[in-house]
């Protein structure tokens, strides 16, 4: 079977997470651990061929970097010069739609249409049509394709006597957001039909699952304690980091800089036991409140977590009886800035953090098993779009017994030249309004 995964905004992290999850045996997702064949990829979407049906609903809930999971229905050849509509003009017959795409539903059917690009060069084709009244002119003909194709499909269905409502992306978008799919009940009352467009072929697909934006919002904004001043890692990114830890379900993860508990809650939700510590007693109190709220809200059984005030440089003493499989943490990022700091200040921050991390990683080595991973955020100062001032070197970890692991394997990175990896093969997560970005690094104990 073929599946497609719609990637999140920081698509390099999305690919890293997917690779980590798909290559690991997991009966919950019906994954055997066999290599997954990647058919196509772009910054928007990843198409794979699996040897067995995947349990996509369970998988969607546990992938922070995936917006939608699609089932690929068919592949249609096209000439490079052909539009998507021309390539598919005879494809979407009512019999095909009802058999391959639509769920049985009594009442008015609703369907949406989205286009995802496997070849971003398709965006550069000039538009043959003027802008609609009341809208800004658009530069790319492909933005008219969803409306034209959607109307062709709708017309074919209505001619069979079906009552149909069509949901289209906003005028400056090619694809429906997950919130639109959810709020219009497309997966319950009809379908979201997706077109994956390449240079010489077009995949037709249907959406099976979408990211639960409301639940992520609850886990972020409805917690009793938040700390806007220090900045907080989003639950989606915490989930990605936990998935990169390569631990088995039911094992124990440690966050030695746990703050108010975001990584801990996502670890619990992914099926792990978690331990958290922080030198800040106020943060530990907030973490306890948040985790109690989380346990009640998500009906978590007792005994899944423990938090305690402790310095990360001496945390091994508290955990002598605990078996830790991996460490996942945002780490200490240093000062938060409202404007870009001076070079001397950045250099001092890196020097201070180097000494802190040396002491911490020496401590972690006492409790981590061989091949145990540390997945951590370290600061990167955003100078401009895709330009950062990063730690000059992370080589100080090697004498402590750690190897820096590529966040995406060299084989996969070579196939996906669009990925945004740093020179040391790590990935950056940032936000527009933040100067201090997060470089996500993976260390493995030798």
DSSP string, 369-392: PTT-EEEEEEEEEEEETTEEEE-S
Structure tokens at 407: 């966040």
CATH topology classification for 2-211? VC0802-like (3.30.2130)
Q: Is the Cβ–Cβ distance between 381 and 440 less than 8 Å?
A: no
Which stretch of DSSP H or E encloses residue 12?
Answer: helix 11-22
pLDDT > 50? residue 402: yes
Q: Where along the chain do the CATH 3.30.2130.30 domains lie?
A: 2-211
- Write the pLDDT tens digit of every residue in 220-236: 999 999 876 666 799 99
Residues ≥6 apart with Cβ < 8 Å to 110 = 164, 165, 166, 167, 184, 185, 186, 189, 190
pLDDT computed for residue 125 by the predictor: 64
pLDDT computed for residue 107 by the predictor: 81
Whole-number mean pLDDT of the chain? 91
Neighbouring-strand partners of residue 389: 381
CB count, 10 Å around CB of 300? 16
Helix, strand or coil, per DSSP, at residue 188: helix
Helix, strand or coil, per DSSP, at residue 191: strand
Band of pLDDT at residue 105, cut at 50, 70 and 90: confident
Q: Phi-psi bin for 445: left (phi > 0), alpha (psi -120 to 50), beta?
A: beta
Q: Burial letters for 153-162: b for 16+ Cβ neighbours within 10 Å, e otherwise?
A: bbebbeeeeb
Q: Please state, in angstroms and rounded to a whole number, the distance separating the CA atoms of residues 143 and 125.
A: 10
Helices (H), 159-304: 178-183, 186-189, 213-221, 235-244, 262-269, 281-297
Q: Is the Cβ–Cβ distance between 66 and 81 less than 8 Å?
A: no
Band of pLDDT at residue 238, cut at 50, 70 and 90: very high
Q: Please state, in angstroms and rounded to a whole number, the distance separating the CA atoms of residues 294 and 302.
A: 12
Which stretch of DSSP H or E encloses residue 350?
Answer: helix 343-364
The number of residues in the chain equals 446
Q: Where along the chain do the CATH 3.40.50.150 domains lie?
A: 214-445
Tell me the CB-side half-sphere exposure of residue 443, using CA atoms within 13 A: 29
pLDDT computed for residue 127 by the predictor: 46
Superfamily of chain region 214-445:
Vaccinia Virus protein VP39 (3.40.50.150)
Q: Burial letters for 112-143: b for 16+ Cβ neighbours within 10 Å, e otherwise?
A: bbbbbbbeeebeeeeeeeeeeeeeeebeebbb
Q: Torsion over CA of 381, 387, 391 and 397, rounded to 10 degrees?
A: 130
Read off the DSSP letter of residue 179.
Answer: H
Neighbouring-strand partners of residue 202: 76, 197
Determine whether 426 is exposed, middle or buried from the number of CB atoms within 10 Å of its CB (0-12, 13-18, 19+).
Answer: buried
- Write the pLDDT tens digit of every residue in 284-329: 999 999 999 999 999 999 899 999 999 999 998 877 678 999 999 9
Q: Please state, in angstroms and rounded to a whole number, the distance separating the CA atoms of residues 92 and 98.
A: 10
pLDDT > 80? residue 139: no
- Write the pLDDT tens digit of every residue in 68-98: 999 999 999 998 888 898 999 889 998 899 8
What is this structure's pTM? 0.93
Q: Please state, in angstroms and rounded to a whole number, the distance separating the CA atoms of residues 418 and 291.
A: 38
Which stretch of DSSP H or E encloses residue 329?
Answer: strand 326-329
Largest CA distance in the chain: 73
If you average pLDDT over residues 211-215, what whole number do you get? 95
């Amino acid at each position: 079977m073929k599946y497609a995964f719609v990637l999140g905004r920081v698509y390099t992290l999305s690919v890293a997470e997917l690779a980590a999850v798909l290559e690991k045996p997991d009966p919950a997702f019906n994954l055997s651990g066999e290599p997954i064949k990647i058919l196509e990829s772009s910054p928007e979407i990843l198409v794979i061929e699996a040897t067995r049906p995947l349990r996509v609903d369970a998988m969607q809930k546990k992938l922070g970097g995936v917006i939608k999971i699609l089932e690929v229905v068919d592949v249609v050849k096209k000439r490079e010069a052909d539009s998507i509509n021309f390539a598919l003009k005879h494809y979407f017959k009512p019999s095909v739609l009802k058999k391959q795409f639509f769920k049985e539903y009594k009442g008015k059917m609703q369907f949406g249409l989205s286009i995802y690009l496997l070849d971003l060069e398709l965006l550069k084709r000039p538009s043959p049509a003027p802008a609609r009244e009341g809208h800004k002119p658009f530069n790319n003909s492909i933005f008219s394709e969803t409306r034209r194709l959607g109307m062709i499909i709708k017309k074919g269905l209505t001619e069979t006597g079906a009552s149909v409502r069509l949901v289209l992306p906003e005028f400056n978008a090619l694809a429906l957001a997950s919130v639109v799919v959810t709020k219009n009940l497309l997966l319950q009352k009809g379908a979201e039909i997706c077109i994956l467009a390449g240079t010489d072929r077009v995949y037709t697909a249907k959406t099976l699952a979408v990211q639960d934006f409301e639940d992520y919002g609850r886990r972020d904004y409805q917690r009793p304690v938040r700390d806007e001043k220090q900045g907080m890692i989003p639950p989606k990114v915490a989930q990605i980091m936990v998935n990169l830890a390569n631990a088995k379900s039911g094992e124990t993860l440690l966050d030695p800089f746990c703050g108010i508990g975001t990584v801990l809650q996502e670890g619990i939700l992914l099926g792990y036991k978690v331990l958290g510590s922080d030198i800040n007693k106020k943060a530990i109190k907030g973490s306890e409140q948040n985790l109690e709220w989380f346990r009640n809200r998500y009906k978590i059984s007792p005994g899944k977590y423990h938090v305690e005030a402790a310095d990360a440089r001496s945390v091994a003493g508290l955990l002598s009886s605990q078996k830790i499989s991996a460490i996942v943490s945002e780490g200490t990022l240093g000062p938060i800035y409202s404007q870009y700091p001076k070079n001397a200040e950045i250099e001092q921050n890196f020097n201070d953090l180097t000494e802190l991390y040396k002491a911490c990683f020496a401590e972690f080595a006492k409790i981590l098993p061989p091949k145990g991973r540390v997945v951590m955020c370290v600061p990167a100062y955003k100078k401009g779009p895709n330009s950062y001032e990063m730690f000059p070197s992370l080589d100080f970890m090697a004498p402590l017994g750690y190897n820096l692991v590529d966040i995406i394997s060299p084989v996969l990175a070579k196939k996906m030249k669009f990925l945004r990896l740093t020179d040391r093969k790590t990935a950056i997560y940032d936000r527009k309004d933040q100067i201090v970005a997060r470089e996500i690094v993976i260390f493995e104990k030798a």
